[in-house]
Amino acid sequence: MTAQIIDGKKLAESIKEEIKNAIAERERQMLPIPGLATVLVGNNPASKTYVANKIKTSDALGIRSFSYELDENVSLEELESLIKELNDNPDVQGVLVQLPLPEHLSEDKVMHNISPKKDVDGLHPYNAGLLSRKYSEPLFYPCTPSGIIRMIQSVCPDISGMNAAVIGRSSIVGMPTAMMLSRCNATPTICHSYTKHLDEICRQSDIIVAAAGTPKLIQGDWVKPGAIVIDVGINHIPDSTKPRGYRIVGDVDFDEAVKRAGAISPVPGGVGPMTIAMLMSNTLKAIEYRES
């Protein structure tokens, strides 16, 4: 058996097309156009690439982008003052501070400063808190977990009753993904670096979401036959045959897992494009909160 490939790039294209059409329609009706502000601190090359992609995608969809690049040594006060300015700017509906931040800046403190109504990354403690409450809806769901759920539902719309192994418990990926799976009536097991018998947990899971940042952590024979496998990992492996000197792989041993899974997402071309598409979707949604 060879698994169905969950093509995140293709899925993301169709979501972006819908957003582009919705924005064009707003323009026709002379309604306000959403604006996304990106704040990049320092010179982390991966962060620079992610922010550049977000700006490029915003531009392609008709979202106005406001880009801010701050020095590595910017103070917390300066960063907070910029965020306050963006919170008050009526042309900006989404404020995104690219993580990770340099050591001297507390990510938690910085996130607290973003208005929950402009928190298009869905990482503000207010939105994270609402996500964890049974009868509440956050204003925004976090982007990568939203992309993961959309990918799973593209091959299996109803996952109620399924067991899911979520490998990783970060605030950005693992933990919110587990909460969203639970909201879809699946039963998540949250695994982390202290988890024992990870292989056994995976073998009992109908869904595996791998977000540890360790290449080939999930081996082919850990995958239950027919399971849905979503590989979130982005790992740079030295490769002299590539122009950049490295290639990007996920957390799953794809070549083996593809022989057992029912459906599997590749890296690259899986979760990455979906994360950006969900950010754009949140930015469009943010316009609803503009005057509320």
- Of 173, 183, 30, 34, the C-alpha closest to 191 is 173
Q: Does 217 bind ligand NAD (CB under 6 A)?
A: yes
219 is catalytic: no
Catalytic entry in 117, 119, 121, 206: 121
Angstrom CA distances, 13 to 20, 234, 277, stand at: 10, 20, 8
**C-beta of 210: minimal distance to ligand NAD in Å?**
8
Catalytic entry in 16, 93, 98, 206: 98
Q: Does 70 bind ligand NAD (CB under 6 A)?
A: no
# residues near ligand NAD by CB under 6 A: 25
Among 17-25, 113-121, 152-160, 213-221, the segment contacting ligand NAD (CB under 6 A): 213-221
54 is catalytic: yes
**C-beta of 73: minimal distance to ligand NAD in Å?**
24
Q: Can you read off the two tokens belonging to residue 256?
A: 């083996």
Q: In 10 A of CB 12, how many CB atoms?
A: 25
Q: How far apart are CA 263 and CA 152, in angstroms?
A: 9
- Of 189, 183, 185, the C-alpha closest to 136 is 183
- Of 288, 286, 261, 238, the C-alpha closest to 118 is 286
Q: What is the DSSP string of 116-140?
A: GGG-TTS-SHHHHHHHTSTT---SS
Q: Does 212 bind ligand NAD (CB under 6 A)?
A: yes
**Among 20, 192, 247, 285, interactor with ligand NAD by CB under 6 A:** 192
Instruction: State residue 95 phi and psi, 5-degree precision.
Output: -120, 120
Q: Footprint of ligand NAD on residues 236-275 (CB under 6 A)?
A: 271-272, 275
Q: Footprint of ligand NAD on residues 150-179 (CB under 6 A)?
A: 167-170, 172-174
Among 58-66, 112-120, 178-186, 226-234, the segment contacting ligand NAD (CB under 6 A): 226-234
